[in-house]
Amino acid sequence: MAHFETRTGSEEIYRGRVFTVTKDTVTLENGAEGIREIVHHHGGACVAALTEDNRVYLVRQFRYAFGQEIWELPAGKLEAGEDPLEAAKRELGEEAGLAADHWRDLHPIWPTVGYCSEIIYTYLATGLHPVPMHLDEDEFLTPESLPLDEAVAMCLDGRIVDGKTIAALLKIQALRAKGEL
């Protein structure tokens, strides 16, 4: 039997530029009532841009919520109804100054399933070539290429802490180990 909850009510608590928060009343599978506070987010797209000599492009970016600069793959939020692959292509150009000839779907990840509807669509980009980089006016970051093996080691030893980056890089490493890349 599949587990379930049924929403019986919803109240919008906050509406912002990036997300909305609701407080939902639910009926649990045992008939009891529960409360769920949910962050509704349009999702994002994330790109692992891999060179022919197995270097991957990462960006260093300050993240205010954590008060520090972290390593991440190029990524950005989706506009409502935007195609995730088109968003990934846009973000690769904006943040890394790259375009790609080949794209592989690494499948979506759901980073915070307990309270947020965000889905991050992850892609592998190859056949890279430079294009003009054009950051948003409120965006400050530095792109750098690192050997893929070093980036994976950074995931494993805690120097890379961003979940979408860890997931995508470990997926690529697993595909390489299986001979699929």
Structure tokens at 180: 């699929």
Strand stretches in 42-140, DSSP E: 44-49, 55-63, 68-72, 75-77, 98-105, 120-130
Structure-token match 């379930």, residue found: 4
Dump pLDDT digits (tens) for 160-179.
Answer: 999 999 999 999 999 999 99
Whether residue 98 is predicted with pLDDT greater than 90 in this model: the reply is yes
92-128 burial by CB neighbour count: b if 16+ within 10 A, else e?
Answer: bbbbbbbebeebbebebbebeeeebbbbbbbbbbeeb
Calculate Rg over the CA atoms of the chain. 18
With residue 145 as reference, give the H or E element that holds it: strand 141-147
- Chain centre distance of CA 113: 14
Kindly name the residue from 5, 29, 33, 137 that is annotated as catalytic: 137
pLDDT, tens digit (0-9, with 9 covering 90-100), for 22-31: 999 999 999 9
Let me know if 137 is a catalytic residue: yes
